[in-house]
């Protein structure tokens, strides 16, 4: 199964830009910026990426964000992420970007966008991976970050921007406070893809649906606690972007054995499999497919169905989606 999954063309819908920085890339950036608390030694860095809870994960994540101080840093990281995706036979990815985090650290919005757009074009040329962007509000920075994220999205309109999201901590960050921002983003044609139900209960998913017009939900695993909500997700075909290892590493679930993926699938909730912040969690998209196949007792045909679900739930252009769907189905 491992070789089959590695050879399978894939789409990834929930993977964070900074969270995809390889251990080697983070170590190089830490060496470049010695005032950072991030370790330079790869072994120490692996220990640094051991999280006590979700709040600790956010603290560590932001310390890595602090290493990205120039447009060149942004370009290099983006290009490396594209290379790593290509190595796993990912053909298409919707990369979650948090422009606010770079803008408040002194990188002009225009320079940030120029870096990621140039890197995107180079990635497609060099590696054959098509990237599109989800611009994410960092929930820990509340409404000011939402204002800036929306402004950059609507005023500068980057070519590959397809979605508007909300990440960061959920505890103490009600989804509904961002309703106006999501309404304006949706009116401009952006798709609504907030995180919810990762580290909080089903109520955050309901808020994301009712107040943010969510078309997909980042994580959403708390839906398994609410049979009525699972019925709604199944009926409305709201896709959950499930990231099993992430949920264990951030202590959102105690172990893979306790993960509710099988419960969600049994209830008819549509899911995709994703890696979230793969180097930080010591995983890859291929490994997440292996884990999901074990959890769901899938054969190769079932794994193909998982890969097709990601293609179908994507916001890829129709021609790309059709071509990728045919390529994936050819592995059945």
* Catalytic residue list: 198
CA 273, CA 163: separation in Å to the nearest integer? Answer: 18
CA 15, CA 243: separation in Å to the nearest integer? Answer: 9
* Chain centre to alpha carbon of residue 230: 22
Strand order of the β-sheet with 90-97 is 10-16, 90-97, 130-138, 161-167, 191-192
CA 17, CA 140: separation in Å to the nearest integer? Answer: 17
Q: Using a CB cutoff of 8 Å and minimum separation of 24, what contacts does 111-114 make?
A: 111/71, 112/71, 112/74, 112/152, 113/152, 113/156, 113/158, 114/71
Q: Helix H segments across 174-317? A: 179-187, 202-212, 227-236, 244-249, 261-266, 285-296, 300-313
CA 135, CA 282: separation in Å to the nearest integer? Answer: 24
CA 14, CA 95: separation in Å to the nearest integer? Answer: 7
- As beta bridge partners, residue 15 has 95, 276
CB 231 within 8 A of CB 267: yes
CA 187, CA 150: separation in Å to the nearest integer? Answer: 12
């Amino acid at each position: 199964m491992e070789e089959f999954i590695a050879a399978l063309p894939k789409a990834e819908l929930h993977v964070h830009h900074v969270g995809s920085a390889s251990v080697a890339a983070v170590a190089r950036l830490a060496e470049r910026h010695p005032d950072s608390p991030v370790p330079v030694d790869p072994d120490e860095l692996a220990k640094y990426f051991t999280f006590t809870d979700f709040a600790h994960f956010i603290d560590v994540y932001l310390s890595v964000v602090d290493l990205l101080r120039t447009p060149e840093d942004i370009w290099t990281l983006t290009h490396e992420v594209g290379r790593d995706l290509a190595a796993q036979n990912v053909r298409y990815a919707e990369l979650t970007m948090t422009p606010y985090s770079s803008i408040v650290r002194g990188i002009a919005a225009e320079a940030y966008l120029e870096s990621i757009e140039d890197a995107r074009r180079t990635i497609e040329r060099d590696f054959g991976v098509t990237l599109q962007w989800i611009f994410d509000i960092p929930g820990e920075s509340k409404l000011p970050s939402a204002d800036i994220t929306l402004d950059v999205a609507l005023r500068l309109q980057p070519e590959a921007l397809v979605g508007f999201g909300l990440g960061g901590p959920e505890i103490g960050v009600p989804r509904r406070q961002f309703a106006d921002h999501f309404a304006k983003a949706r009116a401009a044609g952006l798709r609504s893809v907030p995180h919810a139900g990762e580290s909080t209960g089903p109520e955050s998913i309901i808020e994301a649906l009712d107040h943010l017009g969510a078309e997909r939900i980042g994580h959403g695993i708390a839906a398994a606690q609410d049979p009525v909500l699972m019925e709604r997700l199944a009926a409305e075909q709201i896709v959950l972007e499930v990231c099993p290892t992430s949920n264990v590493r951030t202590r959102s679930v105690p172990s893979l054995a306790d993960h509710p993926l099988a419960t969600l699938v049994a209830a008819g909730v549509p899911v995709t499999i994703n890696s979230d912040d793969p180097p930080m969690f010591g995983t890859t998209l291929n490994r997440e497919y292996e884990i999901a196949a074990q959890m769901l007792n899938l054969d190769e045909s079932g794994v193909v169905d998982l890969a097709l679900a990601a293609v179908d739930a994507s916001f890829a252009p129709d021609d790309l989606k059709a071509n990728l769907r045919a390529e994936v189905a050819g592995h059945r």
